[in-house]
Copies of this chain bind each other. A is one copy, B any other.
Amino acid sequence: MPEKILDVVAIGNAIVDVLARADQDFLDQHDMVKGSMQLVDEAVSDAIYADMGPGTETSGGSAANTAAGLASFHSRVAFVGKVRDDVLGRVFTHDIRSIGVEFDVPPAADGPSTARCLVLVTPDAQRTMSTYLGASSLIGPDDVDPDLVARAKIVFCEGYLWDLPAAKAALVKAMDVAAASDGKVAFSLSDSFCVERHRDEFLDLVKDKVDILFANEAEICSLYQTDSWDEAADHVAGHLEIACLTRSEHGSVIATSEGERVEVPAQMLRRVVDTTGAGDLYAAGFLHGLTHERPLPVCGRLAALAAAEVISHVGARPQVTLAGLESSRL
């Protein structure tokens, strides 16, 4: 078995976020469902952009945010995703490397531009996202280096990638390498609409390939087609090793295959400004704890702490060193 010199390899879309404030009317006018992520083509992305207010460009992407959070906790982490060799691609690459994440997938030399996600933040701090995947959709199995994955304790995959056949193949390859090299597979359901699009396959994944699952209430209820969170929680706990079930301001529950249920209260650092990245940073805190052999309640508290930091400001990546926050808070 290769030595586990990495804590986590994260695989996901490589996206630059364009954050702007908007009100409910704006969402209604553009047929957006608050709190959700919709995939759009470049023309629709441009049309929404033309209508929206001044933006702030900042690196994003769900699993990439998790990777950034892990690095900020001083975990050893690599990211796999695809950018174009354009301005936003260089922004993404700079930002993720500068926080300490290994990122060596070569950028695409031609084809569509680097992915952009228009993130509209409403006054209630909820975010609604329209994503143009661009170059990010070019990721495929060849971008997954089996040696890299085999050296990681955990491979973390975002459900969003399931929308693209080649990206799906890349995830399956990474999951299989992890399983064959004594690594664990962590998976995020990403978004309830994403779960709806791929429910049967996600159910198979949860039963067969995933060890650690991250899901919010809407996602886990959609997966098991139930309105009862308790029922969904019972189901999922029977299907894999650890399920991290987040419940916004009500905290989270970590359910294990051994019947354990750890309740974790939400944390609050300051006013909630922008919930973008909350789930991604929850995963970062949890996986940091898990790869450092902390007990599950501590993993949960680290998860809640990282989520609390990222929702206290605009943008989906930490603005302070999470390792510092950990030592001052826990």
Contacts and interface: CB of A to CB of B under 8 A. Distances in A.
Interface of A: 21, 49-50, 52-59, 68, 86-88, 91, 94-96, 98-99, 113, 315, 317, 319
Contacts of A55: 58, 91, 94-95
B99 A57 contact: no
Nearest to A99: B54
A88 to B, nearest CB: 6
B59 A58 contact: no
Given A86-B87, A87-B86, A68 B56 contact: no
A87 B91 CA distance: 11
B315 A56 contact: yes
B54 A56 contact: no
Contact of A54 (B88, B95, B113): B95
Contact of A94 (B49, B87, B94, B99): B49
Given A87-B86, A87-B87, A88-B87, A56 B53 contact: no
Contact of A57 (B49, B50, B57, B113): B57
Contacts of A95: 54-55
A91 B88 CA distance: 11
B57 A91 contact: yes
Shortest 5 CB-CB distances between A and B: which pairs?
Answer: A57-B57, A54-B95, A87-B87, A56-B58, A53-B98
B58 A57 contact: yes
A207 B37 CA distance: 58
Contacts of A59: 54
A95 B98 CA distance: 26
Contacts of A68: 54
Contacts of A94: 49-50, 54-55
